Structure 1
Amino acid sequence: MMHDAAPAYGLWSLVIVNSAVFILFAYTFFKPQTSRDWRSFGAFSAFLVALFVEMYGFPLTIYFLSGWLQSRYPNIDWFSHDAGHLLEMVFGWKTNPHAGPFHVLSFILIGAGFLLIAAAWRVLYDAQQTRSLATSGPYSYVRHPQYVGFVLVMFGFLLQWPTILTLAMFPVLTVMYVKLARDEEQDARAEFGDAYAKYAAEVPAFIPHLGRLLGRNTPRDYRHG
Protein backbone atom coordinates (compact mmCIF):
# COMPACT_ATOMS: atom_id res chain seq x y z
CA MET A 1 0.00 0.00 0.00
CA MET A 2 1.06 3.59 -0.60
CA HIS A 3 1.34 5.88 2.42
CA ASP A 4 3.02 9.30 2.38
CA ALA A 5 4.38 10.66 5.66
CA ALA A 6 4.05 14.26 4.46
CA PRO A 7 0.61 15.73 3.74
CA ALA A 8 -0.39 15.18 0.13
CA TYR A 9 -2.90 18.03 -0.16
CA GLY A 10 -3.81 21.32 1.45
CA LEU A 11 -0.50 22.73 0.20
CA TRP A 12 -1.94 26.00 -1.06
CA SER A 13 1.43 27.73 -1.15
CA LEU A 14 2.51 25.17 -3.76
CA VAL A 15 -0.69 25.84 -5.72
CA ILE A 16 0.18 29.53 -5.85
CA VAL A 17 3.87 29.05 -6.59
CA ASN A 18 3.40 26.42 -9.31
CA SER A 19 0.57 28.34 -10.95
CA ALA A 20 2.60 31.55 -10.94
CA VAL A 21 5.75 29.86 -12.27
CA PHE A 22 4.06 28.10 -15.17
CA ILE A 23 1.87 31.08 -16.07
CA LEU A 24 4.89 33.41 -16.10
CA PHE A 25 6.85 30.79 -18.03
CA ALA A 26 4.10 30.64 -20.65
CA TYR A 27 3.89 34.44 -20.69
CA THR A 28 7.58 34.80 -21.55
CA PHE A 29 7.07 32.45 -24.50
CA PHE A 30 3.73 33.73 -25.77
CA LYS A 31 3.93 37.46 -24.94
CA PRO A 32 0.24 38.30 -25.48
CA GLN A 33 -0.41 41.66 -27.08
CA THR A 34 -3.89 41.78 -28.61
CA SER A 35 -7.21 41.11 -26.86
CA ARG A 36 -7.35 37.83 -28.76
CA ASP A 37 -3.93 36.88 -27.38
CA TRP A 38 -5.03 37.68 -23.85
CA ARG A 39 -8.18 35.56 -24.19
CA SER A 40 -6.20 32.53 -25.27
CA PHE A 41 -3.55 33.11 -22.61
CA GLY A 42 -6.18 33.66 -19.91
CA ALA A 43 -7.95 30.41 -20.76
CA PHE A 44 -4.65 28.54 -20.64
CA SER A 45 -3.86 30.14 -17.26
CA ALA A 46 -7.24 29.04 -15.89
CA PHE A 47 -6.46 25.48 -16.98
CA LEU A 48 -3.15 25.59 -15.07
CA VAL A 49 -4.74 26.96 -11.91
CA ALA A 50 -7.44 24.26 -12.00
CA LEU A 51 -4.74 21.63 -12.46
CA PHE A 52 -2.53 22.75 -9.57
CA VAL A 53 -5.49 23.21 -7.21
CA GLU A 54 -6.20 19.50 -7.56
CA MET A 55 -2.55 18.52 -7.61
CA TYR A 56 -1.64 20.23 -4.33
CA GLY A 57 -4.76 21.85 -2.86
CA PHE A 58 -7.87 19.66 -2.81
CA PRO A 59 -8.18 16.39 -4.80
CA LEU A 60 -11.73 16.90 -6.05
CA THR A 61 -11.44 14.16 -8.68
CA ILE A 62 -10.08 11.60 -6.21
CA TYR A 63 -12.80 12.61 -3.73
CA PHE A 64 -15.58 11.97 -6.25
CA LEU A 65 -14.07 8.73 -7.55
CA SER A 66 -12.68 7.42 -4.25
CA GLY A 67 -15.43 4.83 -3.70
CA TRP A 68 -15.07 3.30 -7.14
CA LEU A 69 -11.26 3.51 -7.09
CA GLN A 70 -10.96 1.94 -3.64
CA SER A 71 -13.25 -0.95 -4.61
CA ARG A 72 -11.35 -1.61 -7.85
CA TYR A 73 -7.84 -1.00 -6.50
CA PRO A 74 -7.98 -1.69 -2.74
CA ASN A 75 -4.21 -1.75 -2.19
CA ILE A 76 -3.66 1.89 -3.13
CA ASP A 77 -3.89 4.85 -0.77
CA TRP A 78 -5.85 7.08 -3.13
CA PHE A 79 -5.30 10.19 -1.03
CA SER A 80 -1.53 9.97 -1.28
CA HIS A 81 0.18 12.34 -3.71
CA ASP A 82 1.54 9.57 -5.93
CA ALA A 83 -1.97 8.22 -6.47
CA GLY A 84 -2.90 11.47 -8.19
CA HIS A 85 -1.05 10.07 -11.20
CA LEU A 86 -4.20 8.18 -12.06
CA LEU A 87 -3.08 6.64 -15.34
CA GLU A 88 0.04 5.10 -13.80
CA MET A 89 -2.02 3.75 -10.90
CA VAL A 90 -4.88 2.37 -13.00
CA PHE A 91 -2.52 0.67 -15.46
CA GLY A 92 -0.53 -0.90 -12.63
CA TRP A 93 2.78 0.97 -12.74
CA LYS A 94 4.45 -0.49 -9.64
CA THR A 95 7.37 1.89 -9.11
CA ASN A 96 7.71 5.66 -8.80
CA PRO A 97 4.90 7.16 -10.91
CA HIS A 98 7.16 10.08 -11.85
CA ALA A 99 9.14 7.59 -13.93
CA GLY A 100 6.04 6.03 -15.44
CA PRO A 101 5.37 6.03 -19.19
CA PHE A 102 2.48 8.51 -19.05
CA HIS A 103 4.48 10.90 -16.88
CA VAL A 104 7.50 10.73 -19.17
CA LEU A 105 5.33 11.26 -22.25
CA SER A 106 3.66 14.21 -20.52
CA PHE A 107 7.02 15.92 -20.03
CA ILE A 108 7.87 15.40 -23.70
CA LEU A 109 4.56 16.94 -24.80
CA ILE A 110 4.78 19.83 -22.34
CA GLY A 111 8.35 20.64 -23.35
CA ALA A 112 7.54 20.35 -27.05
CA GLY A 113 4.52 22.60 -26.60
CA PHE A 114 6.46 25.35 -24.86
CA LEU A 115 9.28 25.16 -27.42
CA LEU A 116 6.77 25.38 -30.26
CA ILE A 117 5.10 28.43 -28.70
CA ALA A 118 8.48 30.12 -28.26
CA ALA A 119 9.72 29.35 -31.77
CA ALA A 120 6.45 30.49 -33.33
CA TRP A 121 6.44 33.75 -31.37
CA ARG A 122 9.87 34.71 -32.69
CA VAL A 123 8.78 34.17 -36.29
CA LEU A 124 5.50 36.00 -35.75
CA TYR A 125 7.21 38.93 -34.03
CA ASP A 126 9.67 39.36 -36.91
CA ALA A 127 6.80 39.21 -39.41
CA GLN A 128 4.82 41.80 -37.49
CA GLN A 129 7.76 44.20 -37.49
CA THR A 130 7.92 44.11 -41.29
CA ARG A 131 4.14 43.73 -41.76
CA SER A 132 4.73 40.51 -43.70
CA LEU A 133 3.20 37.06 -43.64
CA ALA A 134 4.70 34.58 -41.15
CA THR A 135 5.50 31.43 -43.14
CA SER A 136 8.90 30.24 -41.90
CA GLY A 137 9.93 28.03 -38.99
CA PRO A 138 6.91 26.40 -37.33
CA TYR A 139 4.63 28.35 -39.68
CA SER A 140 5.95 26.31 -42.58
CA TYR A 141 4.42 23.20 -40.98
CA VAL A 142 1.11 24.52 -39.61
CA ARG A 143 -0.67 27.84 -39.82
CA HIS A 144 -1.34 28.12 -36.08
CA PRO A 145 1.67 26.68 -34.24
CA GLN A 146 1.14 28.65 -31.03
CA TYR A 147 -2.34 27.23 -30.53
CA VAL A 148 -1.00 23.76 -31.31
CA GLY A 149 1.63 24.38 -28.63
CA PHE A 150 -0.99 25.30 -26.04
CA VAL A 151 -2.95 22.13 -26.83
CA LEU A 152 0.19 19.99 -26.52
CA VAL A 153 0.98 21.48 -23.11
CA MET A 154 -2.57 20.95 -21.84
CA PHE A 155 -2.70 17.38 -23.16
CA GLY A 156 0.67 16.70 -21.54
CA PHE A 157 -0.64 17.86 -18.18
CA LEU A 158 -3.76 15.71 -18.65
CA LEU A 159 -1.58 12.63 -19.09
CA GLN A 160 0.40 13.54 -16.00
CA TRP A 161 -2.46 14.46 -13.68
CA PRO A 162 -5.96 13.93 -15.14
CA THR A 163 -8.83 15.61 -13.29
CA ILE A 164 -12.55 15.93 -13.93
CA LEU A 165 -12.32 19.72 -14.26
CA THR A 166 -9.34 19.82 -16.62
CA LEU A 167 -10.79 16.97 -18.70
CA ALA A 168 -13.94 19.06 -19.08
CA MET A 169 -11.94 22.23 -19.84
CA PHE A 170 -9.68 20.63 -22.45
CA PRO A 171 -12.21 20.20 -25.30
CA VAL A 172 -13.78 23.59 -24.51
CA LEU A 173 -10.41 25.34 -24.72
CA THR A 174 -9.45 23.41 -27.84
CA VAL A 175 -12.64 24.55 -29.57
CA MET A 176 -11.95 28.10 -28.38
CA TYR A 177 -8.46 28.00 -29.90
CA VAL A 178 -9.88 26.74 -33.20
CA LYS A 179 -12.36 29.62 -33.23
CA LEU A 180 -9.64 32.15 -32.42
CA ALA A 181 -7.52 30.68 -35.22
CA ARG A 182 -10.40 31.09 -37.69
CA ASP A 183 -10.83 34.71 -36.62
CA GLU A 184 -7.11 35.32 -37.15
CA GLU A 185 -7.32 33.77 -40.61
CA GLN A 186 -10.05 36.20 -41.60
CA ASP A 187 -7.81 39.09 -40.59
CA ALA A 188 -4.85 37.58 -42.47
CA ARG A 189 -6.88 37.05 -45.64
CA ALA A 190 -8.05 40.65 -45.51
CA GLU A 191 -4.48 41.91 -45.07
CA PHE A 192 -2.48 39.60 -47.35
CA GLY A 193 -5.07 38.48 -49.89
CA ASP A 194 -3.84 35.97 -52.49
CA ALA A 195 -0.56 35.40 -50.66
CA TYR A 196 -2.40 34.05 -47.63
CA ALA A 197 -4.80 32.06 -49.80
CA LYS A 198 -1.86 30.26 -51.45
CA TYR A 199 -0.23 29.68 -48.08
CA ALA A 200 -3.45 28.30 -46.55
CA ALA A 201 -3.99 26.02 -49.55
CA GLU A 202 -0.69 24.23 -48.96
CA VAL A 203 -0.04 24.46 -45.21
CA PRO A 204 -2.56 22.77 -42.87
CA ALA A 205 -4.07 24.65 -39.97
CA PHE A 206 -3.12 22.38 -37.04
CA ILE A 207 -1.82 18.95 -38.09
CA PRO A 208 1.32 18.98 -40.29
CA HIS A 209 1.65 16.86 -43.40
CA LEU A 210 3.75 13.76 -42.79
CA GLY A 211 5.92 14.44 -45.84
CA ARG A 212 6.78 17.91 -44.57
CA LEU A 213 7.71 16.51 -41.16
CA LEU A 214 10.00 13.98 -42.84
CA GLY A 215 11.62 16.70 -44.93
CA ARG A 216 10.35 15.40 -48.26
CA ASN A 217 9.32 18.85 -49.41
CA THR A 218 10.47 22.35 -48.63
CA PRO A 219 8.40 25.44 -47.85
CA ARG A 220 7.67 28.03 -50.50
CA ASP A 221 7.81 31.78 -50.15
CA TYR A 222 4.06 32.40 -50.13
CA ARG A 223 4.52 36.13 -49.88
CA HIS A 224 5.63 36.30 -53.50
CA GLY A 225 3.55 33.55 -55.04
Structure 2
Amino acid sequence: MSESIPAYGLWSLVLLNSAVFIIFAFSFYKPKSSRDWRSFGMYSAFIVALFTEMYGFPLTLYLLSGWLAQHFPGVDFLSHDAGHLLEVMFGWRANPHFGPFHLLSTAFIFGGFWLLASAWNVLYHVQREHRLATTGPYARIRHPQYVAFVLIMFGFLLQWPTLVTLVMFPIMVAVYAHLARREEQAVIDEFGDTYRNYRMKTPAFIPRYNATSDQGKPS
Protein backbone atom coordinates (compact mmCIF):
# COMPACT_ATOMS: atom_id res chain seq x y z
CA MET A 1 0.00 0.00 0.00
CA SER A 2 1.40 3.40 -0.91
CA GLU A 3 2.26 5.62 2.03
CA SER A 4 1.18 8.65 -0.03
CA ILE A 5 -2.47 7.60 0.04
CA PRO A 6 -4.20 9.36 2.96
CA ALA A 7 -6.29 7.26 5.35
CA TYR A 8 -8.60 10.15 6.28
CA GLY A 9 -9.81 13.47 4.92
CA LEU A 10 -11.55 11.56 2.13
CA TRP A 11 -14.77 13.56 2.26
CA SER A 12 -15.92 12.39 -1.16
CA LEU A 13 -15.99 8.84 0.25
CA VAL A 14 -17.92 10.09 3.27
CA LEU A 15 -20.58 11.54 0.98
CA LEU A 16 -20.60 8.59 -1.42
CA ASN A 17 -20.88 5.85 1.20
CA SER A 18 -23.42 7.78 3.27
CA ALA A 19 -25.55 8.35 0.17
CA VAL A 20 -25.36 4.70 -0.89
CA PHE A 21 -26.51 3.29 2.46
CA ILE A 22 -29.14 5.99 3.03
CA ILE A 23 -30.63 5.72 -0.46
CA PHE A 24 -30.53 1.92 -0.31
CA ALA A 25 -32.46 1.91 2.96
CA PHE A 26 -34.87 4.55 1.63
CA SER A 27 -35.64 2.39 -1.40
CA PHE A 28 -36.99 -0.30 0.93
CA TYR A 29 -38.36 1.74 3.82
CA LYS A 30 -40.11 4.54 1.88
CA PRO A 31 -41.07 6.74 4.87
CA LYS A 32 -44.48 8.38 4.69
CA SER A 33 -45.62 9.52 8.12
CA SER A 34 -43.74 11.90 10.43
CA ARG A 35 -42.96 8.87 12.59
CA ASP A 36 -41.40 7.10 9.59
CA TRP A 37 -39.29 10.14 8.78
CA ARG A 38 -38.05 10.40 12.38
CA SER A 39 -36.94 6.78 12.45
CA PHE A 40 -35.30 7.08 9.03
CA GLY A 41 -33.68 10.39 10.00
CA MET A 42 -32.05 8.81 13.05
CA TYR A 43 -30.70 5.96 10.95
CA SER A 44 -29.34 8.49 8.43
CA ALA A 45 -27.64 10.52 11.18
CA PHE A 46 -25.98 7.34 12.47
CA ILE A 47 -24.72 6.47 8.99
CA VAL A 48 -23.28 9.96 8.40
CA ALA A 49 -21.56 9.96 11.82
CA LEU A 50 -20.10 6.54 11.09
CA PHE A 51 -18.64 7.35 7.67
CA THR A 52 -17.40 10.74 8.86
CA GLU A 53 -15.08 8.92 11.26
CA MET A 54 -14.35 6.08 8.85
CA TYR A 55 -13.11 8.29 6.02
CA GLY A 56 -13.23 11.93 7.16
CA PHE A 57 -11.94 12.72 10.64
CA PRO A 58 -11.16 9.85 13.10
CA LEU A 59 -12.33 11.60 16.25
CA THR A 60 -12.42 8.43 18.34
CA LEU A 61 -8.87 7.45 17.43
CA TYR A 62 -7.60 10.94 18.29
CA LEU A 63 -9.40 11.04 21.63
CA LEU A 64 -8.24 7.55 22.60
CA SER A 65 -4.80 7.75 20.98
CA GLY A 66 -2.87 7.84 24.28
CA TRP A 67 -4.69 4.87 25.78
CA LEU A 68 -4.54 2.90 22.54
CA ALA A 69 -0.81 3.53 22.03
CA GLN A 70 -0.10 2.43 25.62
CA HIS A 71 -2.10 -0.80 25.42
CA PHE A 72 -1.44 -1.71 21.78
CA PRO A 73 2.16 -0.67 20.98
CA GLY A 74 3.34 -0.95 17.42
CA VAL A 75 -0.06 -0.26 15.87
CA ASP A 76 -0.31 2.74 13.54
CA PHE A 77 -3.61 4.20 14.67
CA LEU A 78 -3.56 6.76 11.89
CA SER A 79 -3.88 3.98 9.34
CA HIS A 80 -7.30 3.07 7.99
CA ASP A 81 -7.08 -0.58 9.06
CA ALA A 82 -6.57 0.41 12.69
CA GLY A 83 -10.05 1.94 12.70
CA HIS A 84 -11.35 -1.63 12.94
CA LEU A 85 -10.78 -1.37 16.66
CA LEU A 86 -12.32 -4.66 17.72
CA GLU A 87 -9.99 -6.60 15.43
CA VAL A 88 -7.02 -4.64 16.79
CA MET A 89 -8.04 -5.03 20.45
CA PHE A 90 -8.58 -8.78 20.12
CA GLY A 91 -5.25 -9.34 18.41
CA TRP A 92 -6.25 -9.82 14.78
CA ARG A 93 -3.26 -8.56 12.78
CA ALA A 94 -4.18 -9.80 9.30
CA ASN A 95 -6.42 -7.90 6.90
CA PRO A 96 -9.24 -6.61 9.17
CA HIS A 97 -11.80 -7.05 6.37
CA PHE A 98 -11.44 -10.80 6.91
CA GLY A 99 -11.47 -10.54 10.69
CA PRO A 100 -14.18 -12.21 12.79
CA PHE A 101 -15.89 -8.99 13.82
CA HIS A 102 -15.94 -7.65 10.28
CA LEU A 103 -17.45 -10.88 8.94
CA LEU A 104 -20.04 -10.89 11.73
CA SER A 105 -20.74 -7.24 10.97
CA THR A 106 -21.41 -8.08 7.32
CA ALA A 107 -23.90 -10.76 8.37
CA PHE A 108 -25.80 -8.30 10.57
CA ILE A 109 -25.83 -5.56 7.91
CA PHE A 110 -27.01 -7.84 5.08
CA GLY A 111 -29.49 -9.50 7.41
CA GLY A 112 -30.88 -6.10 8.37
CA PHE A 113 -31.29 -5.00 4.76
CA TRP A 114 -32.90 -8.34 3.87
CA LEU A 115 -35.38 -7.91 6.74
CA LEU A 116 -36.09 -4.32 5.70
CA ALA A 117 -36.78 -5.39 2.12
CA SER A 118 -38.94 -8.34 3.19
CA ALA A 119 -41.01 -6.18 5.52
CA TRP A 120 -41.57 -3.54 2.84
CA ASN A 121 -42.68 -6.17 0.34
CA VAL A 122 -45.42 -7.27 2.76
CA LEU A 123 -46.42 -3.69 3.63
CA TYR A 124 -46.64 -2.67 -0.01
CA HIS A 125 -49.33 -5.24 -0.72
CA VAL A 126 -51.37 -4.97 2.49
CA GLN A 127 -51.50 -1.17 2.40
CA ARG A 128 -52.99 -1.29 -1.09
CA GLU A 129 -55.69 -3.63 0.21
CA HIS A 130 -56.06 -1.89 3.58
CA ARG A 131 -55.20 -5.04 5.52
CA LEU A 132 -53.09 -5.71 8.59
CA ALA A 133 -49.56 -7.00 7.89
CA THR A 134 -49.31 -10.45 9.48
CA THR A 135 -47.32 -12.48 6.94
CA GLY A 136 -43.63 -12.74 6.09
CA PRO A 137 -41.48 -11.25 8.84
CA TYR A 138 -44.65 -9.84 10.43
CA ALA A 139 -45.67 -13.41 11.24
CA ARG A 140 -42.70 -13.59 13.64
CA ILE A 141 -42.34 -10.05 14.99
CA ARG A 142 -44.56 -6.98 14.98
CA HIS A 143 -41.90 -4.39 14.11
CA PRO A 144 -39.46 -5.91 11.60
CA GLN A 145 -38.50 -2.56 10.07
CA TYR A 146 -37.31 -1.12 13.39
CA VAL A 147 -35.48 -4.37 14.11
CA ALA A 148 -33.86 -4.14 10.67
CA PHE A 149 -32.48 -0.67 11.39
CA VAL A 150 -31.09 -1.87 14.73
CA LEU A 151 -29.41 -4.87 13.08
CA ILE A 152 -27.79 -2.67 10.43
CA MET A 153 -26.51 -0.16 12.98
CA PHE A 154 -25.24 -2.90 15.30
CA GLY A 155 -23.43 -4.45 12.36
CA PHE A 156 -21.67 -1.17 11.63
CA LEU A 157 -20.73 -0.86 15.31
CA LEU A 158 -18.98 -4.23 15.14
CA GLN A 159 -17.16 -3.15 12.00
CA TRP A 160 -16.14 0.36 13.01
CA PRO A 161 -16.96 1.35 16.61
CA THR A 162 -16.78 5.06 17.44
CA LEU A 163 -17.57 7.03 20.57
CA VAL A 164 -20.29 9.01 18.80
CA THR A 165 -22.10 5.99 17.38
CA LEU A 166 -21.71 4.05 20.64
CA VAL A 167 -23.54 6.88 22.41
CA MET A 168 -26.13 7.18 19.65
CA PHE A 169 -26.96 3.47 19.43
CA PRO A 170 -28.71 2.85 22.79
CA ILE A 171 -30.54 6.17 22.51
CA MET A 172 -31.82 5.25 19.08
CA VAL A 173 -32.90 1.77 20.23
CA ALA A 174 -34.91 3.41 23.04
CA VAL A 175 -36.46 5.88 20.61
CA TYR A 176 -37.37 3.11 18.18
CA ALA A 177 -39.08 1.21 21.02
CA HIS A 178 -41.03 4.37 21.89
CA LEU A 179 -42.02 4.93 18.25
CA ALA A 180 -43.15 1.30 18.03
CA ARG A 181 -45.46 1.75 21.02
CA ARG A 182 -46.96 4.90 19.51
CA GLU A 183 -47.37 3.16 16.17
CA GLU A 184 -49.21 0.28 17.82
CA GLN A 185 -51.76 2.63 19.35
CA ALA A 186 -52.46 4.09 15.92
CA VAL A 187 -52.88 0.60 14.44
CA ILE A 188 -55.25 -0.37 17.27
CA ASP A 189 -57.34 2.70 16.46
CA GLU A 190 -57.52 1.50 12.86
CA PHE A 191 -57.87 -2.29 13.20
CA GLY A 192 -59.16 -2.74 16.76
CA ASP A 193 -59.48 -6.33 18.00
CA THR A 194 -57.84 -7.71 14.88
CA TYR A 195 -54.58 -6.09 15.90
CA ARG A 196 -55.07 -6.90 19.61
CA ASN A 197 -55.37 -10.59 18.76
CA TYR A 198 -52.30 -10.38 16.51
CA ARG A 199 -50.35 -8.64 19.27
CA MET A 200 -51.30 -11.33 21.79
CA LYS A 201 -49.57 -14.06 19.79
CA THR A 202 -46.73 -12.16 18.05
CA PRO A 203 -43.67 -10.73 19.86
CA ALA A 204 -42.70 -7.12 19.28
CA PHE A 205 -39.00 -7.41 18.45
CA ILE A 206 -37.52 -10.84 19.25
CA PRO A 207 -39.10 -13.83 17.50
CA ARG A 208 -40.10 -16.95 19.37
CA TYR A 209 -38.88 -20.19 17.90
CA ASN A 210 -41.54 -22.24 19.68
CA ALA A 211 -44.29 -20.05 18.27
CA THR A 212 -46.79 -22.91 18.09
CA SER A 213 -46.71 -23.59 21.81
CA ASP A 214 -46.81 -19.89 22.62
CA GLN A 215 -49.94 -19.08 20.67
CA GLY A 216 -52.23 -16.85 22.66
CA LYS A 217 -49.64 -15.70 25.17
CA PRO A 218 -49.06 -11.91 25.42
CA SER A 219 -45.57 -10.69 24.52
TM over 0.5: yes
Contact 2:157 2:166 in 1 (8 A): yes
5 Å matches for 1:201-220?
A: 201-212=200-211
Determine the C-alpha separation between the residues in 2 that align with 1:22 and 1:198.
Answer: 36
User: Any idea what the Cα deviations from partners look like across 1:121-173, whole Å, max 9, x if unmatched?
Assistant: 11112111111110000000000000000000000000000000000000111
User: Does the 8 Å CA contact 2:201/2:214 hold for their aligned counterparts?
Assistant: no
C-alpha contact 2:116 2:144 (8 A) present in aligned 1: yes
Q: Distance in 1 between matches of 2:205 and 2:4?
A: 45
Query: Which secondary structure state, in structure 2, belongs to the residue aligned with residue 210 of structure 1?
Result: coil
Q: Distance in 2 between matches of 1:5 and 1:153?
A: 33
2:93 matched residue in structure 1? 94
* Aligned residue identity for 2:29: F
Instruction: Indicate conservation of the 8 Å contact 1:4/1:80, yes or no.
Output: no
Could you tell me which residue of structure 2 aligns to residue 27 of structure 1?
26
Using the TM superposition, name which of 29-38 and 87-96 deviates more. 29-38
In structure 1, what is the equivalent of residue 185 of structure 2? Answer: 186
Q: How does 1:111-126 map to 2 (within 5 A)?
A: 111-126=110-125
One-letter amino acid matched to 2:207: P
Contact kept in structure 2, 1:36 and 1:180, CA below 8 Å: yes
The worse-fitting range, judged by mean Cα deviation, of 186-195 and 43-52 is 186-195
SS of corresponding position for 1:196: helix
- Following TM superposition, where does structure 1 have runs of at least 4 consecutive aligned residues deviating by more than 2 angstroms? 2-5, 216-220
Match of 2:144 in 1: 145
1:223 aligns with: none
**How many angstroms does 1:98 deviate by?**
0.3
* Aligned residue in 1 for 2:59: 60
Gaps of 5+ in 1: 221-225
TM-score, normalization: structure 2? Answer: 0.95
Matched, 1:131 2:130: yes
Task: Measure how far apart 1:211 and its partner are.
Answer: 2.0
Residue in structure 2 matched with residue 108 of structure 1 by the alignment: 107
Match for 1:177: what amino acid?
A: Y
Q: 1:4 to 1:109 in 2, by over 3 A?
A: farther
Equivalent residues of 1:88, 1:100 under 8 A apart = yes
Q: Distance in 2 between matches of 1:210 and 1:6?
A: 49
Identity of aligned residues (%): 61
CA apart distance, 1:3: 8.9
SS across alignment from 1:209? coil
Q: For residues 23 and 219 of structure 1, do their structure 2 counterparts lie closer, same or farther at Cα, with a shift above 3 Å needed?
A: farther
Q: 1:65 to 1:123 in 2, by over 3 A?
A: same
Alpha-carbon deviation of 1:69?
0.2
Total equivalences in the alignment: 216
Q: CA deviation at 1:210?
A: 2.0
2-side partners of 1:84 and 1:124: how far apart?
A: 38
Structure 2 unmatched ranges of 5 or more: none
Q: AA paired with 1:125?
A: Y
- Aligned mates of 1:176, 1:217 — CA distance in 2: 31
Of 33-42 and 54-63, deviating more is 33-42
Matched with 2:36 is: 37
> Is the Cα–Cα contact under 8 Å of residues 3 and 77 in structure 1 kept in the other structure?
no
SS in 2 for 1:211: coil
